[in-house]
Amino acid sequence: MRYNERELLSLSRQPAEKAAEILMRAPKKGSVLKKRLVKLVVNFLFYFRTDEAEPVGALLLEHCQIKQEEENVFSISFLEELDRKYYFECETEDQCREWVEVLQKASYEFMRNSLIFYRHEIQKMTGKDPLEQYGISEEARFQLGARKL
């Protein structure tokens, strides 16, 4: 995916679906937990120093694995490098579960699969393709024959 720094900076300033100050450790050797403002915007997870307006970095939540490691710790790793994990430590187990759930649903692939699933379910119930009224035919990008949830 191509993007530039200006676009990312603009996106990081958009309203967040979820944001909180939590502890974060990058996969770098010798990295320690640091308090960061973590902000989910669409399918990007931005992380900021708590006293700065510009993000330190961003994780594109595509082709990744998000899982709860301990009661209040979750990790994000990318499929091409599963052993390199970003760790996040929340204040409570409930907060950790909330983060895992929202992050797992943030990817384009999850949204695409959800669209395919619900389109198929509506078509089974009504006999009509709910997207046809918008000029999106069965031959279009979100085909019913694609993978299901």
Rounded CA-CA distance 77/27 in Å is 9
Residue 140 pLDDT: 57
* 135 and 98 share one domain: no
* 11 and 81 share one domain: yes
Q: Token pair of 121, please? A: 């379910």
Range 72-83 average pLDDT: 91
Rounded CA-CA distance 139/108 in Å is 20
* 57 and 100 share one domain: yes
24 near 86, Cβ under 8 Å? yes
51 located within any domain: yes
Domain that holds residue 140: 107-144
102 located within any domain: yes
96 located within any domain: yes
User: What tens digit of pLDDT does each residue of 19-47 get?
Assistant: 999 999 999 888 899 999 999 999 999 99
Closest CA to 26 of 45, 11, 3: 45
Q: Token pair of 138, please? A: 């069965």
Q: Token pair of 21, please? A: 């100050």
* 87 and 46 share one domain: yes
Sequential DSSP letters for 75-99: EEEETTEEEEEEEEE-SSHHHHHHH
Residue 29 pLDDT: 82
138 located within any domain: yes
User: What tens digit of pLDDT does each residue of 51-60 get?
Assistant: 999 999 999 9
Query: What percentage of the chain carries pLDDT values higher than 70?
Result: 89
pTM over 0.75? The answer is: yes
Domain count, the chain: 2
31 located within any domain: yes
* 101 and 131 share one domain: no
